[in-house]
Amino acid sequence: MRWGCHLPRASWGPGLGRVLQPADERIPFLIHWSWPLRGQRPLGPPRAFIRHHGSSADSDPPPGRHRLLFQGAAATEAIQQHRRNLAEWFSRLPREERQFGPTFALDTVHVDPVIRESTPDELLRPTAELALEHHPPSAGLPPLALSQLFDPDVCGRRVQTVVLYGTVGTGKSTLVRKMVLDWCYGRLPALELLIPFSCEDLSSLGPAPASLCQLVAQRYTPQKEILPLMATAGSRLLFVLHGLERLNLNFQLADTGLCSDLEEPKAPAAIIVNLLRKYMLPEASILVTTRPPAIGRIPSKYVGRYGEICGFSDTNLQKLYFQLRLNQPDCEHGAGGAGVSATLAQHDNLVEMLSRNLEGHHQIAAACFLPSYCWLVCATLHFLHAPTLAGQTLTSIYTSFLRLNFSGEMLDSTDPSKLSLMAYAARTMGKLAYEGVSSRKTYFSEEDVRGCLEAGIKTEEEFQLLHVFRRDALRFFLAPCVEPGHPGTFVFTVPAMQEYLAALYIVLGLRKTTLQRVGKEVAEFVGRVGEDVSLVLGIMAKLLPLRALPLLFNLLKVVPRVFGRVVGKSRGAVAQAMVLEMFREEDYYNDDVLDQIGASILGVEGPRRHPDEPPDDEVFELFPMFMGGLLSAHNRAVLAQLGCPIKTLDALENAQAIKKKLGKLGRQALPPSELLDHLFFHYEFQNQRFSAEVLGSLRQLNLAGVRMTPLKCTVVAAVLGSGRHALDEVNLASCQLDPMGLRTLRPVFLRARKLGLQPNSLGPEACKDLRDLLLHDQCQVTTLRLSNNPLTVAGVALLMEGLAGNTSLKHLSLLHTGLGDEGLELLAAQLDRNQQLQELNVAYNGAGDTAALALAKAAREHPSLELLHLYFNELSSEGRQALRDMGSTTEGGARVVVSLTEGTAVSEYWSVILGEVQRNLNSWDRGRVRRHLELLLRDLEDNRGATLNPWRKAQLLRVESEVKALLEQLGGPGT
């Protein structure tokens, strides 16, 4: 998963001439306009407008600057009501946008794209075969500011019709949405009236006749009062025709007659043709947005200016967009008591890392050339680093991203097949993506791309559809590789998109084996022959008394269906492809898939690999995750909207095949990062019953060393929190857990018997959650390891409250938790509140003789405590001797471990002590550890000289050698 000049500012101001066109090219939301919402809304903006580079708001002109054309109380009120309705209508954002915060609005993240003027000759020029390159602006045609769209042309002629075109993902819908909102909030004072039309809605009306007044009045009821005055509005009336590719226009007079009467009923397409001809409302201004293949549907003589939406070709525009979106104030949900300022600092750090990666890693900058991919980057970062919405998965983000760009889009509205654009992309780009995954490559030659695009094309109609796809959507999926060492190759616009499309290609059953392809043809042939033979046998059965003929007749009817079903089975292939990629052995020691996603977007800290070094093996661990996610009910419903339906029966059969494969291969012990990937697959699959059955044999959850972000905690809790079987051990050592993570993982902790949380920088605040865990009536924890966490005395006081009401805990490790004398004295005073504890480790806590002796005395009197660890504390020789004497003079009670020796013999816990030192050698205070080891070494030498038993001498020498080896590692004297 790898990612492989400043333009003039555009603003809306008073010097725009007749019509002012604000544009925003962030995210291509397809707006389906049908009936306006009638909600009441003030005319003012919903918040203070943030002005920045490319803002569509300039200083508003004073009232009265322009003479009102629609005078009268009724007309004025109708205009105001129209503004309120449009503002309410266009301010409503999709669910995918609401994830960025409850007050997220288009005004706060608006960044203008680069728009360059085009000429009709340039539009007619044949495009490059793959249509991937973006051509720089032609000489003499500088980029257009939004305020210049309706300026006179180079010959001084008036411009009344502007056609803005752009490929999928450039943000045409967002442009229209932002422009309408600007007019509603009074930021376009040169416009008296704005009437937006969705060409998709107009095309749905079919040929049913309706006048322009009827079309306007039906959709915008308040306009009934001013319809008779539209003819006098002149250029201060703007029609916005969005998505011209959805509408079939015919400019031939023989088919579409002239019409200038606003009240005369005509087919909607005929009304639009006469508006563009300037035969109806000749003074009105018109803005058209369309995809490139549909530009030719309007004769160039009716167009005053063409403008190509070129996206964020300047990385500064990308940075500004990311800064505005990622720093939304209401995105911050302080977690675990952390202040909002800390969260803001975290988001600032994300923006800074992303900016550095944009500057140094050109492939991600090339991807973010399309504003839609800027949205995808932000949505992915929000998913990785912010509180996750219920039910949101990475697969759902990518599926929603495609729905926002392709929902309802046909490849060519003039083609009778009405083929879905997304279905065509899944068949062609999915094939290329899967071939890349199966051969483990991310770079594709022109021959590779052409082979997948042209596979199976035989007719002229199919070549025409391919031409449309190349011109309009190919750049959305593929981009020229800008990384050194791969000239002339292409990559998927973002690495994860390759894996998503490959998974979609498999799940949709588009991959056919040779047997399946041949078998389908054989089944069809057998079916055709069987019909003829059945007819003959039927006649013979009536003429001849042959009893076997009817039976043979029925068999011939069954054969084609059975044979076709047998050869058409591909469920096992789906499961095999997914499981093999998930459990690929050479990937075992990669980072987990979530960290890989973050690194691909934000870059990798530290020095990069030298370009001359051989590249690492490609890792496609997202591929199985997406395969599971696409089978979830939510994603299947969204895919059906895109024209890529997955039948429920097929999904069930795939799930059963995957379960069988995972049941066989998923029982093996996996490294922590791979185990998290396995759990993440189940999270993407969103099927608790399926996960409970597959993970029913999981007894040890070892995620040691995995950085447990809030998302990863959510993943683990969602997958394992609802299970019923107990977990023998949950190891979350060195996972950078925080209190919020502990709260999220509590359902998992309640099922654990051994719980390892060392070291995670858990402080007193985390002890509140641990106390609540211990007091829970379903708690099964018998061993709790909290070593190397800064619990301090305050934290231990909370833990003792939990111990007082807990009946399951038997082993507690508080090694190196900053207790000091006060902490040990607190433990000594309250130890009797728990009657089940068997082992307590308070080693390396800086305690002195008095506190250690008090705790040892309390331990000896405890009814169940058997072992107390006190080594590496600040004990004097006298204190250590007193503790030894206490153990030798008291019958029963807990054993106290303070040294590597017991009398003149080696302690049976010597390996435990040295093992703790070895594990924490790099994190503990080296000078302090060296001093303690030297004291232990002196004890060993003294006891070796005091004993005459050769067996004991040999044991002491062996332990001495181990201590000396540790001292050498610490840089101390080994003798």
Give residue-wise pLDDT tens across range 817-861. Answer: 999 999 999 999 999 999 999 999 999 999 999 999 999 999 999
Return the pLDDT at 792.
93
Whether 880 has a pLDDT exceeding 60, the answer reads yes
State which H helix or E strand residue 626 sits in: helix 622-630
Q: What is the pLDDT of residues 41-73, one digit of tens each?
A: 334 433 333 334 343 333 343 343 444 556 677
Going by pLDDT thresholds of 50, 70 and 90, the confidence category of residue 936 is confident
Structure tokens at 902: 């017991």
Q: Are 937 and 960 in contact (CB under 8 A)?
A: yes
Counting Cβ atoms within 10 Å, is residue 890 exposed (0-12), middle (13-18) or buried (19+)?
middle
Nearest residue to 473 (alpha-carbon basis) of 434, 518, 427, 519 = 427
Q: How confident is the model at residue 15 (pLDDT cuts 50, 70, 90)?
A: very low
User: Is 70 exceeded by the pLDDT of residue 331?
Assistant: no
Neighbours of 423 (CB within 10 A): 20
Nearest Cα to Cα of residue 843 among 823, 864, 865, 866: 823
Compute the distance between CA of residue 923 and CA of residue 909 in angstroms, rounded to an integer. Answer: 22
CATH class of 75-126+141-310: alpha beta
Q: Is the pLDDT of residue 452 over 70?
A: yes
Using the predicted structure, report yes or no on whether residue 774 has a pLDDT greater than 90: yes
Residue 98's CB: how many other CB atoms inside 10 A? 12
Say how many C-beta atoms besides its own lie within 10 A of residue 855's C-beta.
28
| pLDDT score at 238 | 93
CA-based nearest residue to 673, from 765, 775, 559, 582: 582
- Residues 383-404, mean pLDDT to the nearest whole number: 88
- Mean pLDDT value across the chain: 80
| Least confidently predicted of 96-110, 138-152, 499-513 | 96-110
| CB 266, CB 222: distance < 8 Å | no
Alpha-carbon distance of 644 to 94, in angstroms, equals 21
State residue 524's pLDDT score. 54
**The predicted structure's pLDDT at residue 815:** 93
* Predicted confidence band of residue 127 (pLDDT cuts 50, 70, 90): low
Give the pairing type, strands 115-118 and 305-309: antiparallel
Using alpha carbons, select from 211, 214, 198 the residue that is nearest to residue 288.
198
Residue 888 predicted with pLDDT over 70:
no
Q: What is the pTM of this model?
A: 0.83
β-bridge partners, 242: 198, 289
d(C-alpha 451, C-alpha 433), whole Å: 12
In this predicted structure, the answer to whether residue 865 has a pLDDT above a threshold of 50 is: yes
d(CA 285, CA 161): 6
Domain ranges of the chain: 75-126+141-310, 315-327+345-406, 415-526+617-665, 673-897, 908-970
The alpha carbon of 854 is separated from its chain's Cα centroid by a whole number of angstroms, namely: 55
Which residue would you say has higher pLDDT here, 946 or 791?
Answer: 791
**Quick one: three-class SS letters along 122-148?**
HHHCCCCCCCCCCCCCCCCCCEECHHH
Q: Which of 265-269, 657-661, 913-917 has the highest mean pLDDT?
A: 265-269
Confidence of residue 803 (pLDDT cuts 50, 70, 90): very high
End-to-end CA distance of the chain: 51
Pick the closest to residue 294 from 369, 254, 242 (CA basis).
Answer: 242
d(CA 822, CA 833): 18
Averaged pLDDT, 744-761:
94
CA 66/CA 915 separation, integer angstroms: 84
pLDDT on residue 602: 86
pLDDT (0 to 100) of residue 18: 37
Instruction: Round the CA-based radius of gyration of the chain to a whole number and report it.
Output: 36
Compute the average pLDDT of residues 928-934.
85
**The pLDDT value given to residue 69:** 58
Residue 86 has pLDDT above 80, yes or no: yes
Residue 330 has pLDDT above 70, yes or no: no
Select from 797, 771, 768 the least CA-distant residue to 784. Answer: 771
Residue 368 and residue 374: Cα distance in Å, rounded? 5
- For residue 277, the Cα-to-chain-centroid distance in whole angstroms is 46
Q: With pLDDT > 70 as the criterion, what percentage of the chain qualifies?
A: 77
Summarize pLDDT for 577-632 with one digit per residue, the tens: 666 666 665 555 578 899 989 888 887 654 444 444 444 556 788 988 998 999 99
Please give the pLDDT value at position 456: 81
- 5 pLDDT more than 60: no
Please tell us whether the domain made up of 673-897 is placed in CATH 3.80.10.10: yes
Mark residue 328 as left, alpha or beta (left: phi above 0; alpha: psi -120 to 50; beta: remaining).
beta
pLDDT digits (tens, 9 = 90+) for 524-581: 555 555 555 566 556 656 655 555 555 555 555 555 555 545 444 555 666 666 666 6
- Alpha-carbon distance of 793 to 817, in angstroms, equals 9
Q: What residues contact residue 922 under an 8 Å CB cut-off, 6+ apart?
A: none
Token duo for residue 566: 């047998």
752 backbone dihedrals φ, ψ, rounded to 5°: -90, 145
Whether 498 contacts 492, CB under 8 Å: yes
Contacts 24+ apart (CB under 8 A), 659-667: 659/690, 659/693, 659/694, 660/575, 661/575, 661/576, 661/578, 661/579, 662/579, 662/694, 663/694, 665/579, 665/583, 666/583, 666/694, 666/695, 666/697, 667/697
